């Protein structure tokens, strides 16, 4: 069952499940958009049948998993590129009418792509050694990305 799936495989099942509204593809089908408040209600709350899916009730744990599997957090586009003109000063903060629920997160992984389940096997959990290699190679750019977002 889904409990034995890897974390990326679980995400894949969720983002492609029409009943799950909190996790969806971005406009290009190359990234994940996660509506945090909805995700917590839908997938981490006790009531949902999917609540057992991640064995955690904390959104922070999900973000940690994403990071462990090499997903990068992107700045959320102010008004979903497809949604047309910006909705004034509040739009950038994500409080546009479409998402009254609070923070939305945009995550990207080069091997997590719409219609490419074959790539999922390449998403490996970062071991300490892998992480050190990555950190050594990515020190400068990831630092920069981080500063741009906060």
Q: 8-33: per-residue pLDDT in tens? A: 999 999 999 999 999 999 999 999 99
**Radius of gyration of the CA atoms of the chain, in A:** 16
Asked whether residue 128 carries a pLDDT value surpassing 50, the answer given is: yes
Would you state the pLDDT for residue 68?
92
135: Cβ contacts below 8 Å, ≥ 6 apart: none
61: Cβ contacts below 8 Å, ≥ 6 apart: 54
pTM: 0.66
Asked whether residue 95 carries a pLDDT value surpassing 50, the answer given is: no
Provide the mean pLDDT of the chain. Answer: 75
- Which top CATH class is 7-77+100-136? mainly alpha
């Amino acid at each position: 069952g889904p409990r034995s799936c890897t974390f990326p495989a679980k995400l894949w099942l969720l983002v492609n499940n029409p009943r799950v509204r909190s996790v969806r593809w971005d406009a290009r089908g190359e990234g994940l958009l996660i509506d945090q408040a909805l995700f917590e209600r839908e997938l981490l709350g006790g009531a949902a049948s999917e609540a057992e899916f991640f064995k955690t009730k904390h959104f922070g744990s999900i973000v940690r998993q994403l990071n462990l599997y090499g997903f990068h957090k992107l700045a959320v586009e102010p008004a979903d590129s497809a949604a047309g003109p910006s909705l004034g000063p509040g739009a950038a903060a994500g409080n546009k009418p479409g998402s009254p629920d609070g923070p939305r997160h945009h995550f990207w992984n080069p091997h997590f792509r719409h219609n490419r389940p074959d790539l999922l096997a390449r998403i490996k959990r970062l071991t300490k050694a892998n992480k050190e290699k990555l950190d050594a190679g990515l020190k400068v750019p990831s630092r920069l990305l981080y500063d741009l977002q906060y």
